[in-house]
Amino acid sequence: MTIDEKVYQQLQRLPHSLQEELLDFVQFLLMKAERREKQEWFSLSLSSALRDMDDEPALYDLADIKVIFA
């Protein structure tokens, strides 16, 4: 028996109000998983964009500063 079948069998035993609560919880878990996946993609994208940045030569240094605010 697959996990889907086991969940479905147990779901059928619950009262309707608890089935609705379970549906809300499943939707919450899906939203949480989507958010986690987006965060992982964001981290990967950012790390890819910044990769090898330390190896690039500096474009400016302190000698290029024209005005200093104290």
pTM above 0.85, yes or no: no
Question: What does the block give as tokens for 29?
Answer: 């878990």
What CA–CA distance (Å, rounded) separates 11 from 17?
11
Distances (CA, A) of 57 to 52, 53, 54, 60, 61: 11, 9, 8, 9, 11
- Going by pLDDT thresholds of 50, 70 and 90, the confidence category of residue 14 is very high
Q: Which tokens sit at 36?
A: 């986690």
- pLDDT, residue 49, reads 77
- Residue 7 has which token pair? 């969940």
- Per-residue pLDDT tens over the stretch 41-54: 887 787 787 777 77
